[in-house]
């Protein structure tokens, strides 16, 4: 709706009471930012990110995106002003949004970016862009010392994934673990979500269970830990009575069922 149409409607425009003086004041305000848009955006390494800047009353002014780290002008209107073609400005006419699209973002792209309007003086709206990469951890590593005959609980935690891994594999000395081997007592419980957790449980630990254990999520980096099964020696880092700390309720129930099979 333009100004003339608003004036013709008179008292009631979109639920507000406007008179001519108020409308002129509204128009004279000039462009401004919709500050309800989030100022913090997080993207995964390699996954396209968007910084969204919503502007009202832009008129004939132009919109630019600037990277604060080096004060580099990235885009003006819908034109890219950098040799790095990963940066693109996208304008949505329906919403008035000016988005900075960053393709294949890397950790180095993290930082402050500014959406700027070409008023005199220019006005800007800053946003913080954070690029994270998937992280795989095994708490307690890289060396674990466990009593002979006790239960080994190796916990693999995977964070910052766009989707949970389809599979989480475990290997022992670079060989995939066979959960149906004659040895028995070896099981895995995996809980998928924003944070995926996989528990490798080895009952009645034997000396032959010593070695390198690796957790391999299907869509994230692997992580390894070295397990030492001890027969009488007791280093400070031995894992025994508290081997179930960190297990969720569901995982504990499954463990109890497995133990009685």
Mean pLDDT (the chain, rounded) = 82
- Both ends of the chain: CA-CA distance in Å? 72
Backbone angles phi, psi at 115, to 5 degrees: -95, 120
pLDDT band at 46; cut points 50, 70, 90: confident
Q: What is the mean pLDDT of residues 232-259?
A: 50
Lowest mean pLDDT segment, chosen from 27-41, 55-69, 178-192? 27-41
Percent of the chain with pLDDT over 90: 57
Q: What is the mean pLDDT of residues 91-112?
A: 94
Rounded distance between C-alpha atoms, residue 190 and residue 27, angstroms: 58
Q: What is the mean pLDDT of residues 242-257?
A: 49
Q: What is the mean pLDDT of residues 88-100?
A: 92
| pLDDT, tens digit (0-9, with 9 covering 90-100), for 212-236 | 999 999 888 899 999 999 886 655 4
Fold match between domain 29-132 and domain 135-230:
yes
Q: Residue 166 in 3-state DSSP?
A: coil
* Closest C-alpha to 158, from 148, 166, 150, 147: 166
Taking the domains of the chain in order of start, what are their residue ranges? 29-132, 135-230
Rounded distance between C-alpha atoms, residue 110 and residue 15, angstroms: 42
CATH superfamily, region 135-230: Immunoglobulins (2.60.40.10)
Q: What is the mean pLDDT of residues 18-38?
A: 65
CATH topology of domain 29-132: Immunoglobulin-like (2.60.40)
Rounded distance between C-alpha atoms, residue 132 and residue 163, angstroms: 14
Please report which helix (H) or strand (E) contains residue 116, including its range: strand 111-117
| pLDDT, tens digit (0-9, with 9 covering 90-100), for 126-160 | 999 999 888 999 998 899 999 999 999 999 999 98
pTM assigned to the model: 0.60
CA distances from residue 56 to 2, 62, 196, 248 in whole angstroms, order as listed: 13, 12, 41, 48
């Amino acid at each position: 709706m333009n100004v003339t149409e608003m004036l013709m409607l008179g008292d009631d425009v979109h639920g507000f009471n406007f008179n001519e003086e108020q409308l002129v004041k509204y128009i004279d305000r000039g462009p401004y930012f919709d500050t309800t848009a989030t100022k913090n955006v997080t993207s995964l390494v390699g996954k396209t990110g968007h910084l969204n800047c919503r502007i009202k009353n832009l008129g004939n002014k132009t919109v630019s995106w600037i990277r604060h780290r080096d004060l580099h002008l990235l885009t003006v209107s819908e034109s890219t002003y950098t040799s790095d073609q990963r940066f693109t400005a996208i304008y949505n006419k329906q919403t008035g949004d000016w988005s900075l699209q960053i393709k294949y973002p890397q950790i180095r792209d993290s930082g402050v970016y500014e959406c700027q309007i070409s008023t005199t003086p220019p006005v800007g709206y800053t946003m913080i862009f954070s690029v994270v990469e998937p992280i795989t951890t095994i708490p307690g590593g890289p060396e674990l010392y466990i009593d002979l005959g006790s239960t080994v609980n190796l916990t693999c935690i995977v964070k910052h994934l766009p989707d949970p891994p389809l599979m989480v594999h475990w290997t022992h000395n670079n060989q995939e673990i066979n959960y149906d081997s004659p040895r028995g007592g070896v099981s895995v419980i995996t809980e998928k979500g924003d944070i995926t957790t996989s528990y490798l449980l080895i009952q009645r630990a034997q000396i032959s269970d010593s070695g390198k254990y690796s957790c391999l999520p299907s869509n994230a980096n692997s992580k390894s830990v070295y397990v030492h099964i001890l027969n009488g020696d007791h280093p400070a880092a031995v894992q025994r009575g508290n081997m179930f700390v960190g297990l969720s309720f569901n995982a504990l129930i499954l463990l109890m069922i497995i133990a009685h099979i």
